[in-house]
Amino acid sequence: MSTRKVMIYSRFERFWHWTQMALIVTLLFTGFGIHGFHHLISVELADRIHTYSALGVMVLWLFAISWILTTGVWKQFLPTSQGLWRVVRFYSYGIFKGESHPFRKAYNRKLNPLQALTYLSLKLVLFPAIWLSGVAYLTYGLWERFTSSGTPFATVALIHTAAAFAIAAFVTIHVYMLTTGHSFIGHVMPMINGFDEVDLSPAEEAYLEADERGHIR
């Protein structure tokens, strides 16, 4: 195996990442404003920006889901127990002792087992929860007459808020992880130019050198 810099993040993947980040930060900021955690903007403006940002992220996710399913990227999110506990041990103990990361990125596997499990949970649990509860919130006027009390709306609001706090926790941990290991810029740069260091087999290296010359350095 040899280690080379390879483009493993496509232009769409990078666009999706940064656009989603901007929209999620906007949603968290305006959501906190709606709940009264800050008064930097009016509740009315926060609600309007929150609604437009939510619609924007829904459209983005629809494109992302189509891209994941049609390009085979979904395979990256398949969880595996192989090496999982070594990665868990590293993040809970080894990282504070200066140990090396037990996972090396490969050309066909850029997510470590813990990342794959985390991102799969986001996409199958948290994102659908906040998406569906948000749609239910926006369309409350269409279905409120079919309920006998405000309990269903309160439940929708609770689910939406709980999912939002869970996503906020993920964002916080995600940003914190960028400060560990390599330099902050070293962690962020692959999501800017698409290139990251990965382990290549002789066959993979030969293929990239011959047919994807612009994707390997």
Architecture of domain 2-209 in this structure: Up-down Bundle (1.20)
Q: What residues contact 135, with CB distance under 8 A and at least 6 apart?
A: 58
Give CA–CA dist 50/80, Å, rounded: 36
User: What ranges do the domains of the chain cover?
Assistant: 2-209
Give CA–CA dist 114/119, Å, rounded: 9
Q: Give pLDDT tens digits for 85-107.
A: 888 888 888 888 878 888 878 77
In this prediction, residue 213 carries a pLDDT of 86
In this prediction, residue 150 carries a pLDDT of 61
pTM, full prediction: 0.84
In this prediction, residue 30 carries a pLDDT of 96
In this prediction, residue 26 carries a pLDDT of 97
The beta-strand segments (E) located in the chain are: 2-7, 195-200
Residue 73 pLDDT > 80, yes or no?
Answer: yes
**Distances from the Cα of 74 to the Cαs of 50, 65, 92, 100, 123, in angstroms?**
29, 9, 27, 28, 11
